[in-house]
Chain A
Amino acid sequence: MELEEFVSHFAEQFEDTDKSEIMPDTKFHDLEEWGSLVAMGIIAFVKTKCGKTITGKEIRSCETVEDVYHLVAGK
């Protein structure tokens, strides 16, 4: 999956955060809506769309959306 498509799926996991706020360099932990609910949504889309398993702890260790992309790509 390309970075652009990944970022778009990442953004879909938010309900109230505008898509335009989610960029590759967005520090997602700072977003008001960020929390365990959104994290679980990310874990699920990575599993269904990319066929890979990432953990909550791994997401916590990432700073930007692109970091998560590379984490998944490296699996």
Chain B
Amino acid sequence: MMTDYNPFTLTGKVILVTGASSGIGRGIAIACSKMGATIILNGRDRKKLEATLEQLEDGEHQILPADLTNPSAVKEMVMAMPQLDGIVHCAGIGNRTLCRQLSEETVSNVMDINFKGPVMLQQMLLEQKKINKGASIVFMASMASVSPSIGHAAYSASKGAIISYANCLSLELAPRKIRVNCISPAMVWTDLVLQDGVDEEQLKEDEQNYPLKRYGTPEDIAHLAIYLLSDASSWMTGSNIKISGGAN
């Protein structure tokens, strides 16, 4: 009897993963398919999504490309969407700009992609009644929301904003037993961390400062996402989970 015990199974669940073309989103899509879920892959670049699709376990997975900052594209995508049991909002961008150098364009871009995009996608999914009772919604936030570093103001603020939003959403969806939680990772090895003048060698030095002596991998984050998407976390909502290799 014990051999069948698996509270983390995602078998029979349909899960939308945004930002599935790379990094953490791709890692989550792959891991969830291994746990038995049917994945709806969203991202802007169809070719990259096809590359993710190739790495998924066999199943009825679908690709629905759309730029989440484009309202009409979002609506079209949501209309084509099956009923969902899980949503992982992973689409996002990094940014390192000093406060005195922030342009209107940079602030809008970071907030549009990291905050407004997921909020308006979520709005449309709710309006179109695409989310099943008992579903689980996960937002990819960041330790940056509470752990300041220079040049990270716009990015940190966008992640803080999504956490506050998710807290309110969790209350509104609780009557239908739909759960809403955030994951706040510290540094994870993806393309996102290697930009704006940061080089790999610098980061490799920095990861030695982590108590567990390494940055995270997309798989590390995916395993937490599996927990939040599965019925094992049925009593969890409105939480923001830090996953950081011990870093603060």
Whole-angstrom distance between the alpha carbons of A43 and B151 in the complex? 11
Interface magnitude class on chain B: 10 to 19
Secondary structure at the A interface, as helix, strand, loop or mixed, is helix
With beta carbons under 8 angstroms apart, the residue of A36, A45, A47, A55 that contacts B150 is A36
Chain B residues near A54: list those with CB within 8 A: 197
- Are B150 and A44 in touch, CB under 8 angstroms? no
Q: How many residues of A contact B (CB 8 A)?
A: 15
Q: Mark A35-75, 1 if CB is under 8 A from B, else 0.
A: 01100110111011000011111100000000000000000
Query: B201 contacts the other chain (Cβ, under 8 Å)?
Result: yes
Q: How far is the CA of A34 from the CA of B28 in the complex (A)?
A: 41
CB <8 Å contact, A40 and B202 = no
Tell me the complex Cα distance, A45–B101, Å: 9
Residue B1 CB within 8 A of the other chain: no
Per-residue B-contact encoding for A5-49, CB less than 8 Å = 1, 0 else: 000000000000000000000000000000011001101110110
Contact A41 B101 (CB under 8 A): yes
Whether A56 lies near B98 (C-beta < 8 A) is no
User: Contact flags (1/0) for B85-105 with A, using CB distance below 8 Å?
Assistant: 000000000001110110000
With A37-B98, A44-B97, A44-B98: A56-B150 Cβ-Cβ less than 8 Å: no
Report whether over half of chain B's contact residues are helix, strand or loop; otherwise say mixed: loop
Query: Is there an interface contact between B98 and A40, defined as CB atoms closer than 8 Å?
Result: yes
User: Which chain B residues lie closer than 8 Å to A44 at the CB level?
Assistant: 97-98, 101, 196-197
A-B contacts besides A44-B197, A45-B101, 19 pairs, CB < 8 Å: A36-B150, A37-B98, A40-B98, A40-B150, A40-B151, A41-B98, A41-B100, A43-B196, A43-B197, A44-B196, A54-B197, A55-B197, A55-B198, A55-B199, A55-B202, A56-B198, A56-B199, A56-B202, A57-B201
**Interface of B with A (CB < 8 Å)?**
96-98, 100-101, 150-151, 196-199, 201-202
A interface residues, Cβ below 8 angstroms from B: 36-37, 40-41, 43-45, 47-48, 53-58
Cross-chain pairs A/B with CB under 8 angstroms, 15 sampled: A40-B98, A40-B150, A40-B197, A41-B100, A43-B196, A43-B197, A44-B101, A44-B196, A44-B197, A47-B197, A55-B198, A56-B202, A57-B201, A57-B202, A58-B199
